[in-house]
Chains A and B, each alone.
Chain A
């Protein structure tokens, strides 16, 4: 599973660093390091919907507050 978080300017201001940091922690906490590849990209062209995240090309709009929920629903539950 490839998870890509937008770290471009617009998403950065909306908290992409916090989203990345939380995902890094949650992924390693759930021992998913070898199953989930976390990456960054600069701009997905949907700046209004930031923080933009894709999972294998499927688009999600995430905030630092909803990261945990997003992780459980779309990463943890899918990867198992």
Chain B
């Protein structure tokens, strides 16, 4: 096998003491970046990029530099889960779905378990994605090329459809929450016509509503307000502090292999096309809830509800590097910044990279294996430490969380307006939670709404207004059909049951 040989050569390139050291540094920095909301992986890589320029002068240095940067990326992927589980604040957009079950677990005193499950599934997802990159890269790159606007729209439709019917809130409140998300997503510049929508002449609204600010407010601040309502004498909780929790959690993970595999496939697919890690995590969660025998207990602290989105997010985050390397299109903002890094070192990503810079590409792929293993070890050792944070009394941790939220909201666009917005979203989050308006559909609509609309209207432009374009070839046709199947999954299964019964 040619790939195995190339990979072994890659390991030889990557496995130097210096590179191993850089891996550790990268992972730790990445986790730190991932923990702080607002300071995303893209930010972190962008900020540290200049440091690597001096390294990029030699081929070996280029490998070292990309190892450092990609480990920051993986660290950030790992780190996003931490604040989601501990404080209900997603550190990164793709860890929103992790809050659904991770935070209830932490409240039940199972933070250590949730963290271990999150980290381990991240590793599994990433590992499967790297395997795919190793052996199927050329094939996969070709597959990605088949995605035009109709295909993208079908994928987004599938994400929505796999997620509907999930909440137990009153149906009209669910509809209202989702439509609010869509409306907020429409604010700003319309890509297709270049017109400003819903800005009413306010320059602050030009950039639209950033997903992260809404999420920090709705989830983070909203949750703090709910906790405060119960009284400030709330003195923190006891969480297991021992490493034993890791082993115990590991023992129960294998029985969720189906969910892991399903989420890995969803993630790989979304990373390549490139739909991105955030939709992948939502889709992973939605599909797991639909197909798992424990689906009903999702949202109440089910470990499977942590495994599903984390696996999918990481499979997507990792496989997003493939279209970047082979096509030059970044599958995520972080990949976009890495792309810039490659350019500065004189490496032009694109179809020729795999042929002309074999050492670099295989060194990078080898570093994906090593970086992920290193990452898993680093983050697992921090589990007891992070679980212990919950023991700090609430009246110390609450103001610090509020400060972190404010900093996070500010750093997204360096805008004070966003900090105010975050406070408003906090109040909305609190009121909505108490009135049983579900937040998940709102957030999903906010993150995917404008992308889905763009894809739909691009499709309409190219078909000149004919809707049948969504069934015009086997690929888009089958995704659309799958989406519709998902939408009617609930009624369908009950219908089948009735016929059988």
* Chain A bound to chain B: no
